[in-house]
Amino acid sequence: MPRNIGFVSTRFAGTDGVSLEAAKWAEVFEKMGHRCFWFSGRSDRDPAIAHCVPEAHFDHPENRWINEHLWGRPRRPRFVSERVRDSADYLKSEIYRFVVAFDIDILIPQNAITIPMHVPLGLAITEFLGETRMPAIAHHHDFYWERTRFSNSAARDYLDMAFPPSQPNIIHAVINRPAQQALSLRKGVSSTLIPNVFNFEEPPPQPDDFSSDVRAELGIAEDDIFILQPTRLVPRKGIEHAIKMVGALKNPRCKLVVSHDAGDEGFEYKNLLAELAEEEHIDILFVSDRVGEVRQFDANGRKIYTLWDLYPHADLVTYPSTYEGFGNALLEAIYFRKPVVVNRYSIFIEDIEPKGFKFAVMDGFVSRQVVREVRRILADDVYREEMVAHNFKVAAKHYGYTFLVEALLFLLYRVGQMELENSPN
């Protein structure tokens, strides 16, 4: 029967992985006849179905202060605990308001009781679920033990209690197999594996009047080879490998285009990459000032494109990450039928590679074989088209909406079983 489903996180806005995957789940739920509502600290959802509480955002000043006193500290003074407690109590009361206002039947915390970016929110969700016994499906993207920044803390009790909690009314879903195994070992909690997905049933958007001039606007000639690095400028993206690969091609027509900036992780890595590109004598374009979450014009009248505006113009996509929770950009490249150079990061090896995709694959470094494969991809139209068509077919089977429909139906079935078991009748 139709349910009112409440998604909860620090942010539902923009193109981060959590926001995107939550939107895909909501799209499928709504096609099933359910209604979806949103609780977060920052939101671009329709205000009519959203409850936005600024204090729930991970970048709110109060939460930043709390994080400064929890991470990298050996102990937690009493006044810090009091601030955490006050924030958690306030957010819990807002969750109660959200649930009442929209008559929520099932809560879906999206990474909010997974990675402790906002400890008070995780505590608030955990206590709310403990007090109400409302059915919940916790969708986990990144666990705290996967990030070194959380290894030294004064918050061990909070982590044990709420990231994630072990409660009989919570069903857990993870996006990769190693996370599933670690959750079982660390918390004694079973989970359902639901990787990131894409709507391969819908054709990708093609260049229109707004985006047809992407190459010209970014300074890429029509006969240049547009090599797209569709990620942020952070060390785990391994962009130095992309530079080495382009340098090894020894083709001055090759332009490496990096779509996003460093965000809040500093610019030292960007400077290092610029120096490396100069040493390799390649053209690297940092175009984050021309790429945004929505199409618009900047103050100087220049077009701001979305990442999806760039994909159709690319000749090759590089994805040399050393670590990914899954790899949304990899699915995007496949969706746009682009050949990909990919590094064998751990999740790729265990979850993605066995599916039988065809990529130019590197194993931690740029080998001669990788360079030869890239040259063939760029030169042989037939070979390239067969490769991208094959990848699209494999991805549609394993990571399409058909798979997601089946997975979410299974989770709802488990919720129904749980409700029957707890029914007073």
Measured between alpha carbons, how far is residue 75 from residues 69, 70, 71 in Å? 9, 8, 10
Residue ranges per domain, the chain? Answer: 4-197+401-422, 214-398
- Strand ordering across the sheet containing 254-258: 283-286, 254-258, 225-229, 316-319, 340-343, 360-362
Nearest CA-CA partner of 58 in 41, 76, 77: 41
Nearest CA-CA partner of 108 in 195, 165, 38, 209: 38
Q: Are 358 and 419 contacting, i.e. CB atoms less than 8 angstroms apart?
A: no
Judge whether 4-197+401-422 and 214-398 match in fold.
yes
Give the per-residue pLDDT at 392: 97
Q: Which residues pair with 51 in a beta bridge?
A: 39
Q: Which residues pair with 227 in a beta bridge?
A: 256, 316
Give the per-residue pLDDT at 147: 86
Nearby residues of 238 by Cβ (< 8 Å), 6 or more positions away: 320, 321, 322, 343
Give the per-residue pLDDT at 421: 81
pTM for this one? 0.87
Q: What is the pLDDT along the chain (425 residues), one digit of tens a residue?
A: 899 999 999 999 987 889 999 999 999 999 999 999 999 999 999 999 999 999 999 999 999 999 999 999 999 999 999 999 999 999 999 999 999 999 999 999 999 999 999 999 999 999 999 999 999 999 999 999 998 889 899 999 999 999 999 999 999 999 999 999 999 999 999 999 999 999 999 999 999 999 999 999 999 999 999 999 999 898 989 999 999 999 999 999 999 999 998 765 567 899 999 999 999 999 999 999 999 988 999 999 999 999 999 999 999 999 999 988 788 899 999 999 999 999 999 999 999 999 999 999 999 999 999 999 999 999 999 999 999 999 999 999 999 999 999 999 999 999 999 888 877 65
The domain 214-398 belongs to what CATH superfamily?
Glycogen Phosphorylase B; (3.40.50.2000)
By CB neighbour count within 10 A (0-12 exposed, 13-18 middle, 19+ buried), where does 321 fall?
Answer: buried
Give the per-residue pLDDT at 327: 81
Q: Name the E strands within 320-358.
A: 340-343
Q: Name the E strands within 22-105.
A: 35-40, 42-43, 50-52
Give the per-residue pLDDT at 389: 97
**Which of helix, strand or coil describes residue 347?**
helix
Give the per-residue pLDDT at 337: 97
Domain covering 4-197+401-422, topology:
Rossmann fold (3.40.50)
Give the per-residue pLDDT at 264: 55
Contacts of range 357-361, beta carbons closer than 8 Å, 24 or more positions apart? 357/390, 357/391, 357/394, 357/395, 358/387, 358/390, 358/391, 359/391
Structure tokens at 294: 């929505």
